[in-house]
Amino acid sequence: GNQQRGEVNILLMGAHNVGKTALTVRFLTRRFIGEYGDMESVYSRMERIHGQEICINIWDSQKGCWVSEKQLQWADGMILVYDICDRGSFEAVRQQLQLIRRSRKPASCPVVIVANKRDLQHRRRVSGEEGRLLALTQCCCFFEVSAAETYHGVLLVFHRMVDLVRETRALR
């Protein structure tokens, strides 16, 4: 399976417009591209992490809140994104966590919560504490980033996700 091949499948979820595509493009190309067409497919990138070649597959679930059972089962780990300026997108993450946990337990599927658009402080509607608290109570990791401003923060998110997947596998 994936484990032997050194592959990690990451499902990206979140409401519309939170920056899922921006994060994916940032990670894949190191660039920020403001607008793009409707993309929904799997992207791959080889990364050397802790001396091992790992193929990272990213499924950007463009259709917002709705994800299929197929996507849920495909994933080794999930990244749930919200926009700090959009409370609705934060509530969507809460709901998606419930949905995920119905079929995937923390021990089999780690989740990272990402608060995006931290460059837009003046329009903030969700505090860092709220995000951190949600992550804490749901056994998730938490990051606040700006896909628009920095590559490094986005890279940390994906690397942490890969590390969590590897830890999960080691425990099985």
Given the rule CB under 6 A, which residues bind ligand GDP? 14, 16-22, 34-35, 116-117, 119-120, 146-148
Q: Please, what is the end-to-end C-alpha distance for the chain in angstroms?
A: 14
State which residue, 49 or 120, has the beta carbon closest to ligand GDP.
120
Q: Please report how close the Cβ of residue 10 comes to ligand GDP at its closest, in angstroms.
A: 15
State which residue, 1 or 37, has the beta carbon closest to ligand GDP.
37
State which residue, 16 or 45, has the beta carbon closest to ligand GDP.
16
CB 110 within 8 A of CB 168: yes
CB 44 within 8 A of CB 29: no
Residues sharing a CB contact under 8 Å with residue 129, sequence separation 6 or more, in sequence order? none
Q: Please report how close the Cβ of residue 120 comes to ligand GDP at its closest, in angstroms.
A: 5
Q: Which residues share a beta bridge with 30?
A: none
- CA–CA separation, 109 and 5 (whole Å): 18
Minimal CB distance to ligand GDP: which residue? 19
Q: Please report how close the Cβ of residue 121 comes to ligand GDP at its closest, in angstroms.
A: 10
Q: Please report how close the Cβ of residue 152 comes to ligand GDP at its closest, in angstroms.
A: 13
**Nearest in space to 80 (alpha carbons), one of 114, 130, 105:** 114
State which residue, 6 or 64, has the beta carbon closest to ligand GDP.
64
